[in-house]
Structure 1
Amino acid sequence: MRREELTDLIHNMSEKELDIIAKAVQAVGRMRENDYPFMGNFLQLTVVPSNYDFSCSMPITRDLLNPYRIVYGGVTAMMADMAMGWMLEELIEPRDKVVTLDMNVNYHNPGRGKELIAHCTVVHRAQNVMQASCTIVNDKDELVVTSTGTFFHLVRSVKG
């Protein structure tokens, strides 16, 4: 899409639609600063201190709600996947990556409130396979999702 076409589309958008465009543009800008993928920045994932191996939070915004005014299940599943992956990437060399091999998500309560908080722990690590668990609660500490995942550690060799 050319710049002129994009400008025309933006010019005819509602305020609600413009808010989403602004959020996307801000996410792209944050990608330059923090080197984290677009979706993590779009969801506004932020590391928070906790007693777990890793925790992060995400504000609940209008654009994440389904027609029943609860966070889409796919969004909470993505949050769990990203949080567990983020935690595991903190444990490996910066040049390496982790990818999801398998993930299970259980939904317990609707995603409502002001924010969701993901608490993650490493369950097991053997060679290049890592297992993690994630619990997502809302700002009232109500259980929303539990998830487990198996991840593959992609070791990238050092070029010399």
Structure 2
Amino acid sequence: MDQQLQNDIHDYLQDANEEEQQVFKQIVEGLKRKQEGANGSYLGGLLKASSTFKEEEQQLEMVIPANPIIQNSLNIVHGGITATLIDSAMGTLVHRILADDVYAVTSEIKINYVAPGIGKEFKCITSVIHKGSKTIVCEGKVFRDDGVLIAHSTASFFIIPRKNK
């Protein structure tokens, strides 16, 4: 490991309060989740995202726990994290229902924030509204652990053929 990185980590931890130590631990755990394949992206690992696909309903649920990393200065979930949860959940759903020779990218997303993101965890429930040959349109709703809706979204995904390497 790079000596400067070791020094930076040591200095940070030496001066860190309890919350900062917990955040550092969560970041390391997130990096390990990605490294071990528990999450497909570093962001998913950091957020501790988990998902459940309901094939018969063509629906996906993605859950992230609350923690200081995802909170803004008002101690509620940052709107960008809510947007990331929605986009990640919808994108995961889209890739679950697509054929292996194509993939999709978000081409448009609209989010309405309707309540503050407070609580212990946040669940995004997504479903497909339309599946065509070129686009897929999804809907996503994020709920707090007390069942209150905090955001509603629709998004379009552009279907692209995979290229052989």
Structure-1-length-normalised TM-score: 0.86
* Count of aligned positions: 159
Return the offset for 1:11. 3.5
The corresponding residue for 1:127 is: 133
Q: Residue deviations 1:6-27, cap 9 Å, x none?
A: 3344443333222222212211
Question: Whole-Å Cα distance in 2 between the matches of residues 85 and 19 of structure 1?
Answer: 30
Please say if residues 53 and 59 of structure 2, whose CA atoms lie closer than 8 Å, have aligned partners that are also in contact: no
Q: Which moved more, 1:47-56 or 1:126-135?
A: 47-56
CA RMSD of aligned residues (A): 2.2
The corresponding residue for 1:21 is: 24
Please say if residues 39 and 49 of structure 2, whose CA atoms lie closer than 8 Å, have aligned partners that are also in contact: no
Return the offset for 1:120. 0.3
Please say if residues 80 and 136 of structure 1, whose CA atoms lie closer than 8 Å, have aligned partners that are also in contact: yes
Amino acid at match of 1:131: V
The corresponding residue for 1:39 is: 43
Any idea what SS the aligned residue of 2:119 has?
coil
Distance 1:144 1:52, change over 3 A: farther
Any idea what SS the aligned residue of 2:72 has?
coil
* Percent identity for Structure 1 against Structure 2: 24
Amino acid at match of 1:72: H
Question: Whole-Å Cα distance in 2 between the matches of residues 18 and 47 of structure 1?
Answer: 27
Question: Whole-Å Cα distance in 2 between the matches of residues 140 and 35 of structure 1?
Answer: 26
Please say if residues 39 and 45 of structure 2, whose CA atoms lie closer than 8 Å, have aligned partners that are also in contact: no
The corresponding residue for 2:6 is: 4
Return the offset for 1:41. 1.4
Question: Whole-Å Cα distance in 2 between the matches of residues 42 and 97 of structure 1?
Answer: 24
Amino acid at match of 1:56: M
Unaligned runs of 5+ in 2: none
**Matching of residues 81-92 of structure 1 within 5 Å:** 81-92=87-98
Return the offset for 1:117. 0.6
Please say if residues 52 and 119 of structure 1, whose CA atoms lie closer than 8 Å, have aligned partners that are also in contact: no
Return the offset for 1:49. 6.6
Distance 1:77 1:92, change over 3 A: same
The corresponding residue for 1:68 is: 74
Instruction: Tell whether 2:148 aligns with 1:142.
Output: yes
Question: Whole-Å Cα distance in 2 between the matches of residues 109 and 84 of structure 1?
Answer: 20
Return the offset for 1:106. 0.1
Q: Which moved more, 1:81-90 or 1:42-51?
A: 42-51
